[in-house]
A and B are shown apart, each in its own frame.
Chain A
Amino acid sequence: MIRTVLSFFLLILSILVSFSAFAATVDISFWNPFTGPDGVVIEKMVNDFNSTTGKEKGVKVNLLIVPWAEYYTKLTVAISSGTAPNLAIAHSHRIPGFVKEGALLEFNTAYLASIGLKKQDFVPALWKAGEIGGRRYGIPIDAFPRHLYYDRNLFKQKGLNPEKPPQTLDELIETATKLTDPQKGIWGLWFSLSGAWVARDFYSYFWQFEPNLLAPNKREVSSNFTEVAKKVFQIQTDFIRKYKVTPSEPTSYGALFGQGKLGIAVSQITELLMLEQMEGLDFSAAPMPLFGKQRATFALGHNFILPKGKGQTPEKIRAVNAFIEWFLRNSLEWVKGGKIPASLTLMKDKRFSELRIQSIVASQVDYMKLPPLIPEAPGIDDIIIRNGEAIYSGKSSIDEAVNRMASEIKELLSKGK
């Protein structure tokens, strides 16, 4: 009798167990563009999650790192053909464009409240960037403002104080000139002459003179755009052509630092790991120098987004949320890989203050600025980049290029409805 009951009991038990094993792992796909050293960081974090909390909750994250240059193309195609991943990363200024096309799902605000995600916790600009029409489409995970890196050894060699990096235009010119040594092939200052960073550096300096890139109606550039832009590009080209402290050809600043041939570089915190891995390089960071009237520096942030797609069932979304929750709790790991936290709480944490370089860069939090959060933002970037490159390569005069920028931006903004 007892044996029958026992075996019946065991039968029920085994059925229940197999059921839970059946309902076990939910696989979620996660796309991101982290092809640099931070790719290693995200991979490790995903593995950590999968082997700990993921296992407990029955969630497995499948990571896919898409080459940066193709990331948004592939993501857009995937969303439009219904084959989007369950979770993806987007820069803050990409979110409006996606939302306009109806490409994203919103995050459940009740859920966000339940895991303690509060507006006050976050850097205001980053928090606002993910919200459109009162709905939350992006959860910020970090920020990366522009700032300086400099070679402390080189400073000492040239009799400069490594604890006092230049912070004004005059100081920068003076310091860079002292550092430059043409005979040894040493340059005082480096900034990017091509690619995305052309725009980012431009914005940083522009906003120090004029806080608004666009006119209030958002249909054209602000009234003193041309004047300020010309001034900024004049300052930049002076470094190259007048003071001759900056190389005139595109070069890899990392290689220059590694060879001890560069004093100061204008870069961003995401490059931290690359520099840390260079042997013999003793470097530090400084906030973006002040050329204009008020301090400002360009910043962007990464966000989690939920693409729309056939695979986005409630179950998958729950699994995604589990990962996001874990990730936010472990943000310190992410930030160590070369980021500023999006969370004010983490920024005030003692463990963060131990991260020397990140802390220096994070001191800019009150004046770091995101680009205009409109769907045309990436298009504006392209216009600035193209014309900026023409200026730096000498193909175009500053006047011509800046006037073109103004008219092209106006045309771009008038096309949108």
Chain B
Amino acid sequence: MRRKILPYLFLAPYLIFFLLFLGYPIVRGFYISLFDWGIFGPKGFLGLQNYISLLHEEDFWRALKNTLFFTVMYVPLMVLISLLLAVLLKEELPGIQVFRTIFFLPIVINVAVSAVAVGWILDPQIGILNRILSGLHLPTQSWLSREGWAMFAVVLVAIWSGAGFNIIIFLAGLEGIAAELYEAAKVDGATAWQCLRYITIPLLKPVTLLVTVLSIIGALQVFGEIYMLTGGGPHGSTTVLAYLLYERGFTYFKFGEAASIGVIMTLLIGLLSFIQFKLFRET
């Protein structure tokens, strides 16, 4: 008898917390999305009305568009930069450890500080980026107050802080490529560029796919950088889904609407996560 319940005892503490703070809120999230719910309490049952109004709202489609815009700008850049850096960092160059540290370090910096550090450089009044650009006679920008550029600035911060993570993954992938392949290629007279093109890149395909999918999933949920740098502006051009959720919920206190945004995001992202997980569980 004791034997039978013991595993449950091992499991119970975790499971209690899990059900309380994960399981129940997930279910409740769906529930709240069916109501007009304010910060002082529920105000009326709406059924699917929140979803219907949301799908009719310009703000929602704009947020979706902005989220996709961010993703399209972020993912290719992120994958390329981390891949490039991983290839460079694989070399046995002097001081390579120092370089690795430089690129990994932003991983441990939280999004608020990242935004302060990078945001300062981009600041139109006191930032040095504009100063450097004008010194090189290149056009300067008011990075955070122009519509397309603001999103670009957000992408920059996100890449700066997240690339290290993907570099590590790529490095692990690179390590998996047998050295003999390169040696054999060099014997056949291949240049470094050809090595890259015909050995490295094809063999990295699975890892690249993983990094790409991970980046997409992360991009769809981006929030902190936008909150810190642009507050969703200018003119709502950087208001992504996660930010819209936050705004609806905690600036306007429309919990029902915010919850429905959360449900929609979960459906979108959950699907992608599931695919990612299935694909790579066996890797």
Contacts and interface: CB of A to CB of B under 8 A. Distances in A.
A250 B251 CA distance: 25
B88 to A, nearest CB: 41
A77 B39 contact: yes
A212 interface: no
B145 interface: yes
A76 B253 contact: yes
Contacts of A102: 40
Contact of A393 (B38, B39, B40, B235): B235
B235 A80 contact: no
A80 B250 CA distance: 12
A73 interface: yes
A389 B250 CA distance: 23
Interface string B216-260: 000000000000000100011000000000000011010000000
Nearest to B250: A73
Interface string A68-97: 010001001100100000000000000000
Given A76-B39, A77-B39, A390 B235 contact: yes
Nearest to A389: B235
A103 B41 CA distance: 12
A386 B58 CA distance: 13
Nearest to A103: B40
A249 B235 CA distance: 13
A386 B236 CA distance: 9
A251 B231 CA distance: 19
A395 B235 contact: yes
Interface string B249-279: 0110100000000000000000000000000
A113 B40 CA distance: 33
A258 to B, nearest CB: 14
A interface residue count range (under 10 / 10 to 19 / 20 to 34 / 35 or more):
10 to 19
A375 to B, nearest CB: 11
A251 to B, nearest CB: 11
A349 interface: no
Contacts of A279: none
A354 interface: no
Contacts of B40: 80, 101-103
B145 A80 contact: no
Nearest to A411: B53
A92 to B, nearest CB: 20
Interface string A385-404: 01001100101000000000
A102 B145 CA distance: 39
Contacts of B236: 386
A136 to B, nearest CB: 22
B145 A250 contact: yes
A304 to B, nearest CB: 22
Contacts of A103: 40
Nearest to B142: A249
Contacts of A69: 231
Contacts of B251: 73
Contacts of A393: 235
Nearest to A255: B125
A76 B236 CA distance: 24
A76 B254 CA distance: 13
Nearest to B231: A69
A102 B38 CA distance: 13
A396 B236 CA distance: 14
19 contacts: A69-B231, A73-B250, A73-B251, A76-B39, A76-B253, A77-B39, A77-B250, A80-B39, A80-B40, A101-B38, A101-B40, A102-B40, A103-B40, A250-B145, A386-B236, A389-B235, A390-B235, A393-B235, A395-B235
Closest 7 CB pairs between A and B?
Answer: A80-B39, A101-B40, A80-B40, A73-B251, A76-B39, A389-B235, A76-B253
Given A73-B250, A76-B39, 16 more contacts: A69-B231, A76-B253, A77-B39, A77-B250, A80-B39, A80-B40, A101-B38, A101-B40, A102-B40, A103-B40, A250-B145, A386-B236, A389-B235, A390-B235, A393-B235, A395-B235
